[in-house]
Each structure stands twice: as C-alpha cells, then as structure tokens.
C-alpha cells in the first residue's frame, strides 16, 4: 500500500479504530493521542512518527518499522509487535502489559518506567536499551540479547523469565506483582 499520512496535525483526525492500515507509510506522521484500538498496522512504515499517548490495545504491529518513533505513554496492552523494528524509539512510561514483542529489534530503546507485566519478549534485542524503573513482572525474556541493557531499578517477580547468562538485577524479586 502506498498511502501516506500528512506530517502535520489536523483538527479532525479520521477514526482509526479497527482500521486495516497494513503496509501504510506514515513516516514522521503525528498521530499523538490517536485511538488505534484493534487497528492492523502490520508491515507499516512508522519511522520517526510521533505516537505519544496513542491508545492501541490489541492492535497488530507485526513487522512494523518504527525506528526512532516516540511512543511515550502509549497504551499498547495486548498489542502484537512481533518482529517489529523499534530501534532507537522512546517508549517511556508506555503500558505494554501482555504485549507480544517476540523477535522485535529494540536496540537502544528507552523503556524507562514502562510496564511490561506479562509481556512476551522472547528473542528480543535489547542491547543498549534503558529499562530503568520498568516493570517486568511475569515477562518472558528467554533468548533475548540484553547484556548491555540498563536494568537499574527494574521491578520483577518470581514469574519473570530471564535469558541465560544475564545477571539478574537486585533487589530480590517480589513474590508476585499486580499491574
């Protein structure tokens, strides 16, 4: 699909809930605060897009290119971002509870204060990422690459599954977390 989105904000944004936008090109688009609930954005190009505060629970972003996008405070509960390229993006204070990010490229991503409770982060590249203060309770990070990730002040519990060889951050885990 070769549809492009304007790079400037418009007074009236078309409703995007449940839309099929697979393959759309939204480079540098400003969709801050948009409701993308259940929207399909598989293989879309959202590089450098402004997506602050979007609501996209259960949306599909499989294979999306979102490098250097701003997803601060995005609500992405249950969203599927498998195989997505999020390299260099900002997901500060984002809500990714139960999100699926299997095989995603999250190299150099800012996840400070993000809630990743129950997220599926298997085989994710988190090298050079900042997870300071992020919540990883019940998250599955098996097979992920994260040797150079900043894990200071991360909150985790006994249900968190770490990749082999990662030095688990202190303090000790909580018995169980609730989101």
- The CATH number given to whatever domain includes residue 79 is 2.160.20
179 within a domain of the structure (yes/no): no
27 within a domain of the structure (yes/no): no
Give the range of the structural domain holding residue 78, as residue numbers without chain letter: 33-165
- Token pair for residue 174? 């909580």
- Token pair for residue 176? 């169980």
Query: Ramachandran region of residue 146, left (φ > 0), alpha (ψ -120 to 50) or beta?
Result: alpha
15 within a domain of the structure (yes/no): no
111-137 confidence digits (pLDDT tens): 999 999 999 999 999 999 999 999 999
Average pLDDT value for residue range 9-23: 73
91 within a domain of the structure (yes/no): yes
Segments in the chain forming alpha helices (H): none
**Is-contact 3 22, C-beta < 8 A?**
no
- Token pair for residue 63? 């294979």
12 within a domain of the structure (yes/no): no
Distance CA 166, CA 179 (A): 24
Largest CA distance in the chain: 51
43-93 confidence digits (pLDDT tens): 999 999 999 999 999 999 999 999 999 999 999 999 999 999 999 999 999
**Is-contact 77 100, C-beta < 8 A?**
no
75 within a domain of the structure (yes/no): yes
What does the radius of gyration of the chain's CA atoms come to, in whole angstroms?
A: 16
26 within a domain of the structure (yes/no): no
**Is-contact 11 32, C-beta < 8 A?**
no
State how far the alpha carbon of 148 is from the alpha carbons of 127, 157, 166, in Å. Answer: 5, 21, 10
Q: How many domains does the chain have?
A: 1
22 within a domain of the structure (yes/no): no
Which residue do the tokens 């509870």 mark? 97
> Which of 141, 139, 140 is CA-nearest to residue 149?
141
pLDDT band at 174 (very low <50, low <70, confident <90, very high): low
**Is-contact 75 98, C-beta < 8 A?**
no
Poorest-pLDDT segment among 26-30, 32-36, 169-173: 169-173
């Amino acid at each position: 699909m070769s549809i492009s989105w304007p790079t400037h904000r418009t007074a009236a944004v078309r409703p995007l809930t449940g839309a099929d936008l697979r393959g759309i090109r939204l480079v540098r688009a400003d969709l801050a605060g948009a409701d993308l609930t259940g929207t399909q954005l598989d293989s879309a190009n959202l590089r450098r897009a402004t997506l602050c505060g979007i609501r996209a629970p259960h949306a599909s972003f499989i294979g999306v290119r979102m490098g250097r996008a701003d997803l601060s405070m995005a609500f992405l509960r249950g969203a599927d971002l498998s195989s997505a390229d999020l390299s260099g993006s900002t997901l500060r204070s984002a809500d990714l509870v139960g999100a699926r990010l299997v095989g995603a490229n999250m190299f150099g991503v800012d996840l400070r204060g993000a809630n990743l409770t129950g997220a599926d982060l298997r085989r994710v590249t988190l090298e050079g990422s900042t997870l300071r203060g992020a919540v990883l309770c019940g998250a599955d990070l098996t097979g992920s690459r994260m040797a150079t990730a900043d894990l200071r002040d991360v909150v985790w519990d006994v249900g968190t599954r770490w990749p082999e060889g990662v030095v688990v951050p202190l303090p000790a885990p909580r018995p169980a977390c609730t989101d």
